Amino acid sequence: MRSAFAAGLVEVAAADERIILLTADLGYTVLEPFAERFPDRFMNVGVAEQNMVGMATGLAEAGYTPYVYSIATFASMRGYEFIRNGPVLHQLPVRVVGVGGGLDYGHNGLTHYAVEDVALMRTQPDLTIVAPADPDQVRTAVPVLQQLNGPVYLRLGKESASVPGLMGRFRLGGVEAIGDGRDVVFVTLGGAAAQAVEAATLLSERGVEASVAVVSSLNPSPSDDLAVLLGETELAISVEAHYVAGGVGSFAAETIAERRLACRLVRAGLRETPVGETGSRDHLYARHGLMPEQLAAAALQQFELAGR
Amino acid sequence: MTEQTLAGLIRRLIIDESMRAHVGHIGSALSIADILAALYGGVLRSASSHDPERDRLVLSKGHAALALYAALAASSRLDRALLSTYCGEGSQLGAHPEHVLPGVDFSTGSLGQGLSIGAGSALAARMQGSDRQVYVLMSDAECNEGSVWEAAMFAAHHRLGNLVAIIDVNGQQAFGYTRDVLEPTPLAERWAAFGWNVSEVDGHDVEGLQQSLVAADARDPRPRLLAARTTFGKGVSFMENEIAWHYWPLDALQYERACAELAAADRALVPAR
């Protein structure tokens, strides 16, 4: 996703001179295509995320569209108050780009896991969140950001393959459905979409009709789209590499409650602080119940409870 | 009608509006009245509040917003009737400034954020080939914030010679004297060590301030820091250097005394015609 982002940004920047890219000393071997093509519009500001966001505010007020880049934890949290009092308060087109959302940084530990960034950003009603599920969606989404005059948080995965069936579809404020099964609908955000799609495949082998609702943007709310899908099922399972509070599981719960949908919700995600246990992303996914087999089992368990 | 200096008018408006609104932060506002008089009395260049080529001012010590509003009003940039809505219900003029009010370039109120915004603004001016200047007015206690030094490093490294930071060195913060809370000295040496061109100036000498503010040496690419020595609560004797006036509002008797002192000071400064 990182390389797709860099390539996409080079393309839009070629047509829009307002775009500049700032990094807080991260993105080595990723951002070079932009830096080489637009050396005057690229700047490594040093390991100083707060200053980077503050500066982006000053640059945006003067007419620029600054992209500020770091690992998702640092991009979203270190300068959070600067984001709130800068681009959000002033409604300026700063794009905060966080790479490695979720557990993508594997053995690097909690300091590198962005598992509450969506929750934090979601509370800002005028901050658009874009969290693509795969590189193809990144390619579709980056040009769409150009239409937005306000601030954006772009949450990228580190490395990820294409999500089968998604085919790069992305609509701001929309939900992209994969499959049309309604025995269970997985509601997912970001790179975890791949887990959900695989879980749906496993279930279909057991005769269960499942589909996946990929939420790739929040603010504007994709609640209308999600309500249509959840209105046609009795079981929703949210899937996210994020704490269950405040992320896409919470978003699904809000949609179900506010629309009075007759749909049971099970939330898969982190329920405890991931500390003291390192490993690959898949190891961590298994630890927190996010592997396809676990997600499929969660669905089957609900059917058993329901006596089906 | 008594003739007033710009600084005297700013002070009087601060006292009037804080009395009417029954709001504090008076001492912090009075200490920068002369700095703002210098800026709005000929230093800041602007055709209008929306002119993209105007000089920018970031009031990084946002809690002194009343001084900014008073300076805008005293220099005919803000309607007096609007000034009188200060801290009123539904007013755009809160205790911390917001950019929605014409004349306020940036919203502030959380200390330690303004210099970064100013650095970005100065960088933008340079990238756009503009000669506009960016002024950031900070407090001395604000330098407790680590982010100030991130911005200080950045501005020096990138030689933002169009950036001028002014520190209101009044020696006081919410709980006490800055030297007792978190030793700020040697302030000038610290900024110089970070690569800034530092001048120590009298923060109540309007003419001197104006000379220092515009005295950029085109051959010196360093950002400039004016360490402006000031007196907290300057102009109202019973507020001067008194910590309590960080938060206290005025009562009627104090208001009368403050007005009398300001009028006497202006009479002494402005020669009768």
ipTM: 0.94
Q: Which among A46, A59, A85 is the nearest to B124, CB-wise?
A: A59
DSSP A40-53: GGEEE--S-HHHHH
User: What stretch(es) of chain A map to CATH 3.40.50.970?
Assistant: 2-156
Each residue's pLDDT tens digit, B132-146: 999 999 999 999 999
User: What stretch(es) of chain A map to CATH 3.40.50.920?
Assistant: 175-305
Smallest Cα distance from A82 to chain B, Å: 7
Q: Identify the CATH number of the domain defined by range A2-156.
A: 3.40.50.970
A17 to chain B, any CB pair closer than 8 A? The answer is no
Q: What's B97's domain CATH number?
A: 3.40.50.970
Q: Residues 30..59 of A with a Cβ closer than 8 Å to B: which?
A: 40, 45-46, 48, 50-51, 53-59
Q: Please check the confidence at residue B251 and state whether its pLDDT lies above 60.
A: yes
Domain assignment of residue B165, yes or no:
yes
* Vertex B164: Cα angle to B159 and B170 (nearest 5): 135
CA distance A194 to A65: 32
Q: Please check the confidence at residue A226 and state whether its pLDDT lies above 70.
A: yes
Each residue's pLDDT tens digit, B183-194: 999 999 999 999
A269 to chain B, any CB pair closer than 8 A? The answer is no
Please give the CATH architecture assigned to the domain spanning A175-305: 3-Layer(aba) Sandwich (3.40)
B158 phi and psi angles, rounded to 5 deg? -95, 10
Number of domains comprising chain B? 1
Q: Which among A45, A60, A81 is the nearest to B154, CB-wise?
A: A45
Q: Which residues contact A108 (CB under 8 A, 6 or more apart)?
A: none
CA distance B259 to A55: 41
Q: Which among B109, B120, B157 is the nearest to A55, CB-wise?
A: B120
Q: What is the mean pLDDT of chain A?
A: 96
Q: Please give the pLDDT value at position A295.
A: 98
Whole-Å CA distances, B63 to A188, A259, B59, B246: 43, 43, 9, 10
Give the pLDDT mean for B77-96.
97
DSSP B114-177: HHHHHHHHHHHHHHTT----EEEEEETGGGGSHHHHHHHHHHHHTT-TTEEEEEEE--EETTEE
Domain assignment of residue B113, yes or no:
yes
According to DSSP, the residues that pair with A306 across neighbouring strands are none
CA distance B194 to B119: 14
Where on the phi/psi map is residue B55: left (φ > 0), alpha (ψ -120 to 50), or beta?
A: beta
B57 neighbors B137 (Cβ within 8 angstroms): yes
Q: Please give the pLDDT value at position B2.
A: 43
Q: Please check the confidence at residue B218 and state whether its pLDDT lies above 80.
A: no
CA distance A204 to A199: 9
Identity of the amino acid at B141: A
Asked if A55 lies within 8 A of B110 by C-beta distance, the reply is no
Smallest Cα distance from A189 to chain B, Å: 32
Q: Please check the confidence at residue B64 and state whether its pLDDT lies above 80.
A: yes
Q: Please give the pLDDT value at position A299.
A: 97
Structure tokens belonging to residue A276: 């003291």
**Which residues span the domain enclosing B96?**
6-269
* Ranges A22-26, A225-229, B173-177: which has the least confidence: B173-177
Smallest Cα distance from A261 to chain B, Å: 39
First and final CA of chain A: distance in angstroms? 40
Domain assignment of residue B150, yes or no:
yes
Domain assignment of residue B1, yes or no:
no
A202 phi and psi angles, rounded to 5 deg? -60, -40
Asked if B52 lies within 8 A of A85 by C-beta distance, the reply is no
Identity of the amino acid at B70: A
Give the pLDDT mean for A239-262.
98
Q: What is the pLDDT confidence band of residue B3, given thresholds at 50, 70 and 90?
A: low
Q: What is the pLDDT confidence band of residue B215, given thresholds at 50, 70 and 90?
A: confident
* Ranges A16-20, A27-31, B6-10: which has the least confidence: A27-31
Asked if A51 lies within 8 A of B99 by C-beta distance, the reply is no
Are β-strands B172-173 and B176-177 bridged in parallel, bridged antiparallel, or unpaired?
antiparallel
According to DSSP, the residues that pair with A236 across neighbouring strands are A185, A265
Q: What is the pLDDT confidence band of residue B271, given thresholds at 50, 70 and 90?
A: low
Q: What is the pLDDT confidence band of residue B149, given thresholds at 50, 70 and 90?
A: very high
Smallest Cα distance from A58 to chain B, Å: 4
Each residue's pLDDT tens digit, A265-288: 999 999 999 999 999 999 999 999
Whole-Å CA distances, B179 to A13, A284, B173, B183, B185: 49, 49, 10, 4, 8
Return the residue of A nearest to B115 by Cα. Answer: A54
